[in-house]
Amino acid sequence: MRCISTLALIAVVAATSAAPVSAAPESTADLDATARAAGNRPQEAVKIGRALFATIWPAQILRIRVDAVGRHSIAGLMLSAVKFHQDLDRAGFLNEIELLVQRTFATSGVEEVDVWATVPIPVKAHTNVSGDLAEPTSRTVFAVTCRRDQLPGLVARLRNGQGVYWSEEFKARLRGGNRG
């Protein structure tokens, strides 16, 4: 009797292992990384995206772009400066920038990380928004560039504003802490 049930078990296991296996569903981080990757090195952008999208940041990451020529590569992180996921003040925003740059360098061999935040610009109906004659649809309100060798001084640069672009309107909005 024991021999029959063991044989039955082996048959069930054999039949189950021969059945097609479906992949586990992709994580939200994987989906976001793939959907928001851009540039001429999209695989590297996806790799960075997986690391960054593992966290829900207060300021939403809209696009991760990696462009390269030969061995030289640069990552660009575009953030939304509106509709934050949680209240955000200037210190919190700068902390997010610092962490995004650090994680990007830790994940990738890029030489430089550019981070910019944008706000939408209202456009009239039927306005041309793509192509050579396109009207702009967003405006940059924050920007900073950090080369890998500048990473140790990034926090000081962010705090004192050296080499950092801020729109006065955006800086003022962050003073009170808000959700954009």
Could you tell me the domains of the chain? 25-175 (3.10.310)
Q: State the average pLDDT over residues 117-122.
A: 93
pLDDT at residue 137, as a whole number: 86
Q: State the average pLDDT over residues 82-107.
A: 94
Q: What is the pLDDT of residues 133-163, one digit of tens each?
A: 888 889 999 999 999 999 999 999 999 999 9
Q: For 131-158, give one letter per residue: b (16+ CB within 10 A) or e.
A: eeeeeeeeeebbebbbeeeeeeebeebb
The pTM assigned to this predicted structure is 0.82
pLDDT at residue 124, as a whole number: 86
Q: What is the pLDDT of residues 5-37, one digit of tens each?
A: 555 545 544 444 444 554 545 688 899 999 999
Q: How far is CA 122 from CA 8, 86, 128, 133, in A?
A: 69, 24, 13, 17
Angle (nearest 5°) at CA 16 between 10 and 22:
155
User: What whole-number distance in Å separates Cα of residue 78 and Cα of residue 71?
Assistant: 23
